Structure 1
């Protein structure tokens, strides 16, 4: 269905000039028929839409099984194509009639229809089996550009090179994986917001292919990918490679997808990493993690469902066990957490129960009455056998944070038996979701999403507040660590960097379009960092290492605690949707 400057063969033109009754007549196998390329036409839609045609071709893929697409794919024999590399030689035939099987030549009389961008035959009047025939050669896909793909619509194809898995959001829902030539990085990780960043993101979306499962059912059971079924030990991670992709190039629901003839080969190149080892030099380890809505009902096993998080007490227990496993393995001294239920500090509060689950050595910072009215808040927990909490904690709950938002938390700590201390500030800025966005908080199409202005104002307020905090003797410096909901080159990060704070993960592990090994989040196929450890100028020289631990963002969301697939009950993998940030500081 692409533009072509070439003419149809004289034979095809004669067929198109025949009266409709001649074209509709089913006829015998081998009788004149409309070429499939003529049905596909020269543009994005068929010139014969709404008309009746008779075509003859080879059944290449049968999707009439239970849960399938209620039809099959029909492709012109290699010897009968129009030899035009810009036109497709295949159609989808929408029918439940049972005639035919793969490798059989069929003669079909039906009406041409456009269905959400897919050219198909529907209202099938007759299907005649014409004997076996060799399958058409699979065409080689080398560039995943829409204009190139259009000419292969519904045809047998194979992908010349391995592709990279960049998203698994719909794996359990529809059996889909999103593939690209390589991993895709959020443009505002390495470019300032603006038209160029928006253009690159648009191009990223166009250079993708979905690996489908040949079925149209929701919640397929078993989950088709990886081969053998998804579970806690048999995972497929974004960043992994897929080889030997062979099947039908399909267009459904606004996306190009491959319906595979056979399972492709999965190569787990992005394997699950161990927890980062602690340095040999004396240091304090700080770990930051978004808990993905840790809510504990009423704290007594009831009060479910809550507005967020686990919906039952047993589900909460699974969530807690998995979070504890993730938070314990790197052996941190201090934990900064976001998306924690804002329900006070009593024995039944979410933070108190999390501390107990971590172990008897764990304590938490309290700021009663200063936590704001949001459903979630930030929090700090620490190993009381290693770390001393010094001055009383403070919250920024004035100005921009007086009516809405999550008040940032500040607390000073020092290692047991030492004099030098560190000030830790934990913010959680407004998300990029556009719900309720008005005025200058709307999406400006510059790559930052909605509420960029609000996040920028919050960053300014955060800097001013830190500067006004009471002076602390023997302070090594300040660490801002939490979820800023902003990628590295976006305006809030620029504000903090201009104030003298350095993203230490980016300092040790720079992120470019070609290589970005440390990130905390994946969204719609692009990866980048929303969570940070930002050191003040005084603290920067004391930082030994800063890194992310890739336990969550690359894993399928189907492995989350709500699904409780086999092998996941006490696993750190996909314990949240954000990767944690880990920073080691010499004090």
Structure 2
């Protein structure tokens, strides 16, 4: 049964007509010899009949005012033409508006063949000049085409393959058609679900950022092509923003029904659409078969000294006295700040660590009214541990609105010496200055913990940017913008640590935090060549972040290779990255 959004859409059309539109000549339209929809579609990425005026006939499979039209399809037994071509077609208003027509009704239309869209795949459509609903009895069913694997995705393991060209536009032959995807679809991204009713899914399980798995180059390009072939976006077909409910996911998401990346959806029936260079599936029925990805418990890691690495996502506390909201980058109200801080407190409580390295905490000096000091106090008030302290630096380090920070449990570890940070000018803009503090546990050897936050991949330079080098522009290799800056910062960081800034011998060092670089990108590989080992090297495809439906690690834990044997374990708690963003 069609979902309510599609059914309701029929009642809000501009005209409530049962037959032809005013101004049409039904007899002339009826006498015209129609061409098949497959002839209009052709087997290539664009129709061979673009610009031609044609008459076609088909059965309505769905009306989507939010898409500006409706879809028709050749009924079974009438699909004349090359079977490799689509038998579905989108109708959009031209000199004639589109009337209200129910699903299953047969129509005949005249119009100009056009391609809708810009770069990438486009949608073949008919710009309607005349429209006629043909007389008939009961609606004619159009059976969906069954899809059991991603069109064009090569079978076999998910590793690189040299057959990239064969993957391109595998959905073209189903464009505009009613299909039923029977292969399991893994949810890989839902950042647009709350606002636009969109979910990114994959035929290939969880998708990973190409440069998380491969260095920039041919293998990463193959991975990107495979990801594109495996990807399918589900869309509610509505223009409404911030819908109270997504019609094809009734009851989801909710606090009692989490909708996490990694959730697997059962059969999905809908119409294949193309928008913004992406193939979409507009579900015409609710998706009722779902296998949620459970929320994982906090990981248990062996070892005496346990350290957490946490991006606190712009933790700003206003003026520190309950006012000063909205803040420049963080919470808009006192209540939002309290909620944000409570979630961070719960996270650290569950991890049972002695040291926490933070990124994106407000750079508001020192003292009890700073954001980091009040975070430590909130941890102490929540308990059970009540010995949290913040490493204080009088100013900065750095002049950015945010900085890195370090918290520690004073009853468990003791700071050794003063905090340290580099004076290299690369950290005066873009990348925040690293902050290091040595700690000792139970009279053992001191370990230096260095918190980091390198420049982000966004905010790309334009034109003659005074701070950008040629390598800072997006070179299309998967590393996005400001890569040269991050490489320079990584080199400066390695040089600084080689000089043993804390005076503890230079080997017992943990380099942690948000390096804004995926696992095989230039900054990480540079640090690897300088003697820094990945704490997650033995893990199977670790990830800490999901962006545009692809997982990877921007957050890292690196240890001196000479000390890697002393590492007892490392784990990532997916308490946030997979969650629906509407939960805050």
TM-score category by the smaller chain? 0.7 to 0.9
Q: Are the equivalent residues in 2 in contact too, given 1:335–1:381 (CA < 8 A)?
A: yes
Aligned counterpart in structure 2 of residue 86 of structure 1, from 84, 87, 93: 84
For the residues of structure 2 that align with 1:537 and 1:147, how far apart are their CA atoms? 45
Aligned counterpart in structure 2 of residue 455 of structure 1, from 467, 470, 486: 486
The yes-or-no answer on 1:468 pairing with 2:506 is no
* Closer/same/farther in 2, CA of residues 355 and 225 from structure 1, 3 Å limit: farther
Query: Aligned-residue CA RMSD in angstroms?
Result: 2.5
Give a deviation string over 1:12-52, Cα, whole Å, max 9, x none: xxxxxxxxxxx986557697423222332454333444454
Q: Which runs of 5+ in 1 are unaligned?
A: 1-22, 511-515, 561-587
Give a deviation string over 1:153-204, Cα, whole Å, max 9, x none: 1111122311211111211111011112122222222322224313422442
Q: Are the equivalent residues in 2 in contact too, given 1:420–1:474 (CA < 8 A)?
A: no
Q: Are the equivalent residues in 2 in contact too, given 1:195–1:446 (CA < 8 A)?
A: no
Using the TM superposition, give the Cα deviation of residue 435 of structure 1 relative to its aligned residue in structure 2, in angstroms.
2.1
For the residues of structure 2 that align with 1:48 and 1:447, how far apart are their CA atoms? 37
Q: Are the equivalent residues in 1 in contact too, given 2:29–2:110 (CA < 8 A)?
A: no
Aligned counterpart in structure 2 of residue 144 of structure 1, from 141, 147, 151: 151
Aligned counterpart in structure 2 of residue 259 of structure 1, from 272, 279, 282: 282
Structure 1 window deviating more from structure 2 (435-444 vs 332-341): it is: 435-444
Partner of 2:550: 526
The yes-or-no answer on 1:551 pairing with 2:575 is yes
For the residues of structure 1 that align with 2:476 and 2:113, how far apart are their CA atoms? 38
The equivalences for 1:164-563 within 5 A come to 164-182=186-204, 183-224=206-247, 226-268=249-291, 270-279=293-302, 283-359=304-380, 360-402=386-428, 404-415=430-441, 417-436=442-461, 437-470=468-501, 472=503, 477-506=508-537, 508-510=538-540, 516=541, 518-560=542-584
The equivalences for 1:121-132 within 5 A come to 121-131=126-136, 132=138
Using the TM superposition, give the Cα deviation of residue 434 of structure 1 relative to its aligned residue in structure 2, in angstroms.
4.7
Q: Are the equivalent residues in 2 in contact too, given 1:363–1:382 (CA < 8 A)?
A: yes
Partner of 2:7: none
For the residues of structure 1 that align with 2:504 and 2:336, how far apart are their CA atoms? 45
* Closer/same/farther in 2, CA of residues 261 and 385 from structure 1, 3 Å limit: same
Using the TM superposition, give the Cα deviation of residue 444 of structure 1 relative to its aligned residue in structure 2, in angstroms.
2.6
Q: Are the equivalent residues in 2 in contact too, given 1:240–1:266 (CA < 8 A)?
A: no
Using the TM superposition, give the Cα deviation of residue 370 of structure 1 relative to its aligned residue in structure 2, in angstroms.
4.8
Q: Which runs of 5+ in 2 are unaligned?
A: 1-23, 153-167, 381-385, 462-467
Structure 1 window deviating more from structure 2 (388-397 vs 135-144): it is: 135-144
Structure 1 window deviating more from structure 2 (70-79 vs 286-295): it is: 70-79
The yes-or-no answer on 1:163 pairing with 2:179 is no
Q: Are the equivalent residues in 2 in contact too, given 1:226–1:236 (CA < 8 A)?
A: no
SS of the residue aligned with 2:351? Answer: coil
SS of the residue aligned with 2:520? Answer: coil
Using the TM superposition, give the Cα deviation of residue 552 of structure 1 relative to its aligned residue in structure 2, in angstroms.
1.6
Using the TM superposition, give the Cα deviation of residue 392 of structure 1 relative to its aligned residue in structure 2, in angstroms.
0.8
Q: Are the equivalent residues in 2 in contact too, given 1:60–1:75 (CA < 8 A)?
A: yes
Partner of 2:140: 134
For the residues of structure 1 that align with 2:545 and 2:25, how far apart are their CA atoms? 55
Partner of 1:73: 71
* Closer/same/farther in 2, CA of residues 426 and 47 from structure 1, 3 Å limit: same
Partner of 1:568: none
For the residues of structure 1 that align with 2:192 and 2:90, how far apart are their CA atoms? 24
Question: What TM-score, normalized to structure 1?
Answer: 0.84
Using the TM superposition, give the Cα deviation of residue 543 of structure 1 relative to its aligned residue in structure 2, in angstroms.
1.7
Partner of 2:107: 106
Partner of 2:464: none
The structure with higher relative contact order (CA 8 Å, sep 6+) is 1
Question: What TM-score, normalized to structure 2?
Answer: 0.84
For the residues of structure 2 that align with 1:147 and 1:498, how far apart are their CA atoms? 40
SS of the residue aligned with 1:130? Answer: coil
SS of the residue aligned with 1:147? Answer: coil
For the residues of structure 2 that align with 1:305 and 1:118, how far apart are their CA atoms? 43
Using the TM superposition, give the Cα deviation of residue 277 of structure 1 relative to its aligned residue in structure 2, in angstroms.
2.6
